[in-house]
Structure 1
Amino acid sequence: MTTTPRPRPDTPTLVEDLLLLLFQPASGTIAGENTLFYVLGGAVLADLALGDHLTVTARDRVSSVADHPPPDRLLRPAWDYLAEKPRGVQTALAAIGPALRDPALRRLITRGDIDQDSRKVLGLFRSTALREGRTERRARLLAEVRQVLVDGVRPTARVAALTVLVSASGTLPQFDREIPWTSPVITRAKELESGNWGADAASAAVTRTVTATVVNTAVVAITVLPRS
């Protein structure tokens, strides 16, 4: 019988890190809202792959690794869904993605990565506004992505997945002040999207291969979506 592991909410998931990166402090908005649930779904699949909770079957279908559920409650519904039977990546993204934004955002607010202000407009209507938190975690994540795209640093599998998902979301031009939107950056991003992650001594070869397959299959599904 499969047991439910104890959750570890203090360990950020890739979903949370991706949402935090897509948060734009200047405007208080999340970049790429039109395809956000697909991108966040891709982050869940990547997280499951990185933790050896997911495998790729024939025809690039994904399936849960039996009796090895993830310890985090945010990831568990996707594992349960994929435990039923192997699914196509696009089907999986559509099923697991829509429910991710709100709980991931609540975690970021609880952890202090994003602050939420509540105020009254015209003295009558209550409104909430998001602003950058005090942890500086977003700045650290952004620096890691910049090192990969601008400085050519060889990424860990996790940072590679994060970078690819940001690129696939179509939001990289919005990071132009921190990550110059130049031809070399565009080329590097496309290399990563195509699966050219490079060797990574920090990750087991099998885990890295499965993660790259999952993420880059998700990228194909995400990039064909309309952006309007």
Structure 2
Amino acid sequence: MDDELLIVEDLMLLLLADDGSQIAGSKVLHCVLPAAILTELALTGRLEVHSHRRVGGTRIHASRTNADPEIDPLLAEVLRAMGGSEHSAYGLVSALGLDVRQSVLDRLAARGLILRETRKILGVLPTTRWPSLDSRAEAALRDRVTAVLDRGRSPDARTAVIIALISAAGVYAQLSPRMPWNAEVAGRLKAIERGEVTGHDSTPATQEIIDEIARAVFALTSSASSAPIL
């Protein structure tokens, strides 16, 4: 692994079972993955927020619309979809219409972190699994999440974002292997999701955007089934 993973890639590693047969929250990935990309844009200073109470609350827009040679293609795709307009977080997460699941899996495979295995069921129906090939990145992420949720450590902004998203989407209990679970963990999850506990390196403006995105994910996924079917 030559460089840092995107938040959306870290999130997929966490959601993907080690044997590659299941993705926790597979039915809400269309919301959670674009939300992860939006939070990355916020943390890297590419989104700005304006509050307009007369038109429904916080509005988000791209801080720059010109080409950025340093930006990752996945992030650039979302900025292009946003254009120069202002958006609500709910509107962004629900209406971007970007199916990035396959792109993220392919990127992780290209990095050598997971392996693509295609087989045929009964010799006819193709099925694809994505088993872990190099578990170091996921293990490090799980350690950070556990330290925050189970041991009360102050999170960095990236870890806080990932926790907020898996809490908002209701998929924490579906992660495989299972993560620590007790009343304190449950309370810590919700506190981070609601922005009551924030990343120590997150600015107030950035945190406002992240909180709005987490609320949008919760609203969009709370009534959806998130059974771990690949």
Category of TM-score, reference length = shorter chain: 0.7 to 0.9
Residue among 37, 43, 48 paired with 1:50: 43
Structure 1 distance, partners of 2:216, 2:151, is: 28
Structure 2 distance, partners of 1:127, 1:81, is: 31
**1:138-157 correspondence to structure 2 within 5 Å:** 138-157=138-157
TM-score when normalising by structure 2: 0.84
More off after superposition, 180-189 vs 91-100? 91-100
Matched, 1:41 2:34: yes
State the structure with bigger RCO (CA 8 A, min sep 6), 1 or 2: 2
TM-score when normalising by structure 1: 0.85
CA contact (8 A) 2:165 2:214 kept: yes
**1:191-202 correspondence to structure 2 within 5 Å:** 191-198=191-198, 200=200
Shift of 1:177: 5.5
Letter in 2 for 1:224: A
Structure 2 distance, partners of 1:30, 1:210, is: 32
Letter in 1 for 2:60: V
Shift of 1:215: 2.0
Aligned to 1:73: 73
Shift of 1:151: 0.8
Percent of aligned pairs with the same amino acid: 30
CA contact (8 A) 2:36 2:165 kept: yes
RMSD: 2.2
State the secondary structure of the residue aligned to 1:196. coil
Per-residue CA distance 1:40-72 (angstroms, 9 max, x = gap): 121111100111011111221110012474610
CA contact (8 A) 1:54 1:63 kept: yes
**1:78-227 correspondence to structure 2 within 5 Å:** 78-96=78-96, 98-175=98-175, 178-198=178-198, 200=200, 203=201, 208-225=203-220, 226-227=223-224
Count of residues in correspondence between the two structures: 215
**Runs (5+) with no aligned partner, structure 1:** 1-8
Structure 2 distance, partners of 1:77, 1:221, is: 20
Structure 2 distance, partners of 1:187, 1:24, is: 25
Shift of 1:14: 0.8
Q: Cα gap change, 1:145/1:174 in structure 2, threshold over 3 Å: closer, same or farther? A: same
Aligned to 1:63: 61
Letter in 2 for 1:138: E
State the secondary structure of the residue aligned to 2:130. strand
Shift of 1:173: 1.1
Per-residue CA distance 1:124-177 (angstroms, 9 max, x = gap): 444322211224211111111111111111011111111111111211112486
